[in-house]
Amino acid sequence: MFARLMPYTLVAPALLLISTLLMGLSSVLGWSFQGGSGSEAASLIQYENLATNESYRHFFTYSLWLAAVSTFVALILGFPVAYYMEIKASPHQRRLIFAGLLAMFLSDYVLKMFGLILILGRSGLVNRLAMGLGLADSPLRLMYNEFGVLVGLVSGILPYMILSLNGVIARLDKRLQEAAALLGAPPWRIFLLVTLPLCIPGIIAGTMLSFLLSLNSFVTPMLLGGGRVDMIAVLIFDQAINLANLPLGSAAAGVLFLISGAVILLLSLLGDRYQKRFQR
């Protein structure tokens, strides 16, 4: 019957498109099980290599570390902004900040990193200022190292973090804070006991998004790390493209996919559990 098949006809083209990705992902899986030099049988040698070789392993542990630190910093910096624009700002200010955030959100990532180079570089803004004010004798090393990458990561994920946080804060019932104030709670206690707990779902969502973006970041370690900072995306790109080592690149991609999936699962479960506590 026509009406029965209609929805399937409508979704079929989109599903066909998505299936190319699934085919690609299964290719990644297939390649990652290939052994070295021409052996046909499937093997775990690539994964073994990633797990035992200290320098490969470092890419993963160090990426996780950088992602965690940058997410934490973005959370600390982003929360006040999200809170301010939703609770304190005038409607006009709010709109302005919102538009600005969206402009950031949509602005080109490569070019944003370029701007950071102009700030952090040897003769960049910060060094000029520091030396001009006599705070430093010689240029400080602010990029091509961990610091530079962290600044880049934080700057990259801040808009996402703020927009996620802003989402929950906007949905907060303002009367709750007023109720708490009428019960005699001082502002900082209201914030800690009422506002913050209700924001946890947004914090979890923003943390998940930011962590994944940082973890998978490629442009930042390339431009602000000068390709010398060990991040997974750089490893995958080097192996797959520059060194034409598709099996190892695929295995690394497989592991990254797994880690990302685990992060999504873990944080979603956490968010669900947190919200379940409120529900009967």
Partner 1 sequence: MSRSFQFSFLQALTFGVLLFMALPNLIVLAISFNREATLAFPPSGLSFAWYLNVFKTPSFAVGLQQSVLLATVSSAISLALGIPAALAIVRFRFFGRQAVNVFVMAPLFVPEVVMGIAMLLWANAVSTISNTTTLVILHCLIVLPYVVRLVVANLQGMDPNLENAAMLLGARPFQAFFRITVPLIGKGLLGATVFAIVMSFHNFTATMFLIGSRPTLPVAAYQYIRTENDPTVAALSTLMMLAGILAVYLMERWIGLERLVR
Please list every residue from 201 through 260 that binds partner 1, using CB under 8 A: 212, 215-216, 218-219, 222-223, 232-233, 236-237, 240-241, 246, 249-250, 253, 256-257, 260
Give the pair of three-digit tokens for residue 154.
């934080």
Report phi then psi at 225, rounded to 5.
Answer: -100, -5
Q: Which is nearer to partner 1, 47 or 109 (CB)?
A: 109
Q: Binding-site residue total for partner 1 (CB under 8 A)?
A: 86
250 burial (CB, 10 Å; 0-12 / 13-18 / 19+) is: buried
Contact status: 59 vs partner 1 (CB under 8 A): no
Is residue 110 a contact point for partner 1 (CB under 8 A)? yes
Beta-bridged to residue 42, according to DSSP, are: 34
In three-state secondary structure terms, 34 is: strand
Quick one: how far is CA 136 from the chain centroid?
Answer: 33
Identify which of residues 51 and 110 has a Cβ nearer to partner 1 in the complex. Answer: 110
d(CA 229, CA 235): 10
Q: Among residues 109 and 280, whose Cβ is nearest to partner 1?
A: 109
Task: Single out the residue of 104, 130, 172, 185 in contact with partner 1 (rule: CB under 8 A).
Answer: 104
List of residues 6+ apart from 115 with CB closer than 8 A: none
Question: 267 or 280: whose CB is closer to partner 1?
Answer: 267
Helix 196-215 with 146-171: angle, nearest 10 deg? 140
Nearer to partner 1, 245 or 277 (CB): 245
List the structure tokens of 40: 């046909």
Nearer to partner 1, 159 or 201 (CB): 159
Q: How far is the CB of 69 from partner 1 (least distance, A)?
A: 16
Binding test (CB under 8 A) with partner 1, winner from 50, 67, 75, 85: 85
The contact pattern for partner 1, residues 154-193, with x = CB under 8 A and - = no contact, is -x--xx---x---x--x----------------x------
CA dist., res. 259 & res. 268, Å (int): 14
Whether 169 and 87 have beta carbons less than 8 Å apart is answered as yes
Instruction: Using the rule CB under 8 A, give the single segment among 23-31, 43-51, 138-146, 175-183 that binds partner 1.
Output: 23-31
